[in-house]
Each structure stands twice: as structure tokens, then as C-alpha cells.
Structure 1
Amino acid sequence: MASMTPWQQRLSTGTEDIQDEVIRWYQQSRHGKGYVPDMIWGTLQTEAYATVILRRVVDFLDVPNDVPAGVAKRMERQQVLYDGEHHYDVILGEQALYTNVGGPEVMGGQMERILRDFDLPSLTLGVLATTAELSVVPMPGFNMHGGDRVHYELVSSGVDITDPDELALHDKAFTALSNAASYGDTAIDLINKALAFWNNK
């Protein structure tokens, strides 16, 4: 079963309320998984990076502009990385390290943030290299909250999937992506390569 809600409806009061909703998802799910092929996972975003993202959302969807409040909530969400009660398996596409969000200074700071938190006990972070061979077809990013919800963010809508058979397929897909991703020192090398790129821009 899937439910779809247009972003303009979900963001009709601005970005703060939906960030509150996401905080509850993360707090309630002790174990989550995320595949984010072309941007930085929200719970690892710096304040500067998140500000650019939410400002673009507000401008694109023409919804109320409460970006500072939305960013503050997104930063609050990151407490799950430090409370000792949660764990997240996250795969970033290598492209996510190079998608230009806010320019070299913002991107450089974002790479430094990822490197600083790379070894958190609450985080298993992989990078899917652009040349990695996959055993599944390429797919859009998704987040798995516990074992009962998968969330997609589309251009016009947010989609939530709760059917057990569909959840099992997403878990299978995540395993395939994880098997192709780089971890540990190899992932750190890819992030450092991106940091050097942005520092030289």
C-alpha cells in the first residue's frame, strides 16, 4: 500500500511542520536505512547546506517562507545521531558529493562534516562510486524508517509505502546497493577527493 501527498499541501504552512513530522519518524525508528544518490542525506546536512536546500524548496513550490525555522528543525533531527539509541545505514551516491548546493564553501564544509561524523557508532556510511557495478537497475533515493515505512520524495509529492511485500523488495534493493558501495577507508578516500575538488574551486 502506498499513500501520496502533494508537497504544496504538506508544506502549506511552510517547512517547519513537516520537519517536525520527520523528527518523529526518526525518533520512533531505532534503525533506519537511506539511499541518497545525488544529494546529502538530510540528517548529515550542515546548516548552510540545509538552508540552500529548503530555500530552493520554498522558491520552487511557492510555499510560505519559514526557512530559518525549517533549518532549525532539521538540525534538531540530527540529535538521533548522538543519543546512543539509534542506528542508520546510509548509502550516498558519489554524485551526492559533487552536486553543487550553495557553491564551493558550502560544499567544502559539508564534506568536512561528513568526514567528522563518519565513525559515529550510530552511522554506517557507504559511498556508491559512479563506476560501481550494480546487481539492480538504477533507482531513485529512498528512506526506510524501521521495518514499516519507505519514504520517497518526488518532484510534486511525498510517497509513503507500507505494504510488507514492497518493504521486503526495498530491503532487498538496499542490500544490493550496499554490496556495491564502498565503506571504511575507501569511502573516506572518495569523500576526501570531493573535499579537495571543492577546496580547489
Structure 2
Amino acid sequence: MSTDFQQARRALGLRLRELRLSAAGGRLTGTRLAQRLGWPHSKVYKLENGQQTATSEDLRAWAEGIGRPEVFAELDARLKGFESHIRSWRRQLAAGHRPVQDRWNLEVGRSQAVRVWEESVVPGMLQTADYARHIFLRYADLHGSVRDTDAAVRARMRRQEWLYETGRKFHALVWEGALHALICPPPVLTSQLDRLAGVIGMDTVELGIVPLSAPLRLPPANGFCLLDDRLVVAEDWHAELWLDDADSVTTYARVWATLRESAVYGADAQKLIGAVRRAVRAR
């Protein structure tokens, strides 16, 4: 979780405490407010101390509970301000994976060049439908989200039409370990590796594989995506970080360029993918 996010959440918590202490009708204790709202007292404590992220519903209830419904707009604006950059999976997946894929399709559609680094899975833009289905199912299990798997797969496959449009360029870097990962059955992974080998040579795709044996100037940390030079999206277990400030974009671009120095391309990438494919089939 980013320092900026933590600071913003703590600032919101301080504002909630300030409002509670100046509630209409007189100062409210945390216990009394919790009773009014039907919450455990620990929830009031965690929100005020920046240990829990409030929802819009929490903020509306707080404003009404202190007798100041008019402050909800201010509180909600604060929340939306820091959540525009930190997009928790809990909130994003409330309606399933399909809406998340639709938002990604819009952002990719606005872009001419996309640079991706993936250390654990094949990039979504290059996934087969069967491979994508297994990925969505694994994350739906993790987050307990709505299983709209088929709709999400269709949306992700539509995004791949971007690869066939003139003037686009998809630059993908993939850690070799991602090619071995049995997040799906071996036959599905074998077909996925065939798909990867098949895009090598496309004029809109540049696929680099970073071999396990390659010397590295940086550790192969979390995956991220750069959309032109305007936006970087980095993924973590709890959330996606959507960062559009120049410093962040520059940092991630430098990371991508550094990792690229360790990648193999063209015939060397084909050879590596083929070796992984044979190893998977032998399992």
C-alpha cells in the first residue's frame, strides 16, 4: 500500500474524529456513535486511526450518525480522491471481473503503445481464452467475487483486437517462470505457449522473454503496465495502483527498460518457449 494512500486514509480518519467530537447536539464518544450506527466499536476506532478504508456507505452513515448529513459530500470527495489511484480488488470486483475488463478495454483503446512486465502469468493481451478462464477463476476464489467468468473472458478477448490495428504496438516482457507456472492444466498451458510463439514476428507485437538464467540488474518484482507515457497500472494482491504523475511513470518506464536488457527476442525467444513447452508436455 502506498505511503500517499496511507497518509490520505489517516487524514480522512482525523476528519472523521473531528466531526464526531463536534457532532450536532454535542460531543459523541466512539462507543455511542458505534451504538447509533449498529457497528462494533472497533470499526469506529479503525476508521478514525486510518487502519480501515471507509466505503461511501460508511461515510454517509457517519455523517447522519453525528447529525451532520451535509458533510457527506465532503467526506465522499476525499475518499474518491485517494481511491482514484488505489483501486482495491474488493471494490473493483463487487460486480465481478467483467466490469474491470471493460474499463481496461477503454484505457487500452486510448493508447498507441502499451508496455507490460509480467513475472508470474502470461500478459492478458496474449492469453488464450482457456488460460484466461483459469486465471479469472483463481482470483474469483481468492477474493470471493462474483463468478462472471465467461463474460470476463469475452471482454479480455475483445481487447486483443487492438493487436491487429495499424499503428499500435504491444511491448511485452515476461519472466520465464511465468511460462512454467501451472495455474492451469498442462494441456491449457501448452496451447498458451503455442499462442505466445505464434505472435513472435507480428509487426504490432514485441515479445521478450527474460530467461531464468539471465543476469538481472533488478529483481523481477510485481507486474505492471505502461499506457503510452500517461499512465502506469501496477498490480498487488489487495489492489491496483493507477498512477499518472510524471515521476511514477518515469520510474516504471526506467524499470521496464532495465528489465528489457535481460530479455531475449525473436528466434531465441522461440527456442526458449519451445523448451518450456517440451518440459510441460513431459510432466
TM-score normalised over the length of structure 1: 0.96
Indicate the residue corresponding to 2:54 in structure 1. Answer: none
Indicate the residue corresponding to 2:63 in structure 1. Answer: none
Per-residue CA distance 1:65-116 (angstroms, 9 max, x = gap): 1110001101111001112231011100000110112111000000011111
- Cα distance between partner residues in 2 of 1:74 and 1:171: 24
The structure 2 residue matched to 1:45, chosen from 115, 127, 141, is 127
- Cα distance between partner residues in 2 of 1:92 and 1:138: 10
Give the letter for the 1:191 counterpart: I
Query: Are residues 1:199 and 2:274 paired?
Result: no
| Runs (5+) with no aligned partner, structure 1 | none
Which structure ranks higher in relative contact order (CA pairs < 8 Å, sequence separation ≥ 6)? 1
- Cα distance between partner residues in 2 of 1:70 and 1:85: 26
Compare 160-169 and 133-142 and name the one that shifted more.
Answer: 133-142
Alignment of 1:1-201 (within 5 A): 3-201=85-283
| Runs (5+) with no aligned partner, structure 2 | 6-84
- Cα distance between partner residues in 2 of 1:122 and 1:149: 20
SS at match of 1:11: helix
Give the letter for the 1:161 counterpart: L
Give the letter for the 2:145 counterpart: V
- Cα distance between partner residues in 2 of 1:47 and 1:174: 27
Verify the 8 A CA contact 2:119 2:220 in the aligned structure 1.
Answer: no
Give the letter for the 1:62 counterpart: G
Give the letter for the 1:145 counterpart: L
Q: CA 1:111/1:137 → structure 2, altered by over 3 Å: closer, same or farther? A: closer
- Cα distance between partner residues in 2 of 1:14 and 1:139: 27
CA RMSD of aligned residues (A): 1.3
- Cα distance between partner residues in 2 of 1:189 and 1:50: 24
Name the one with the larger strand percent. 1
- Cα distance between partner residues in 1 of 2:221 and 2:183: 21
Verify the 8 A CA contact 2:95 2:146 in the aligned structure 1.
Answer: yes
Superposed displacement of residue 123, structure 1? 0.5
Structure number with greater Rg is 2
Give the letter for the 1:97 counterpart: L
Name the one with the larger helix percent. 2
Q: How many residues align?
A: 201
Superposed displacement of residue 199, structure 1? 1.9
Give the letter for the 2:265 counterpart: Y
SS at match of 2:117: strand
Verify the 8 A CA contact 2:117 2:173 in the aligned structure 1.
Answer: yes
Q: Percent same amino acid at aligned positions?
A: 24
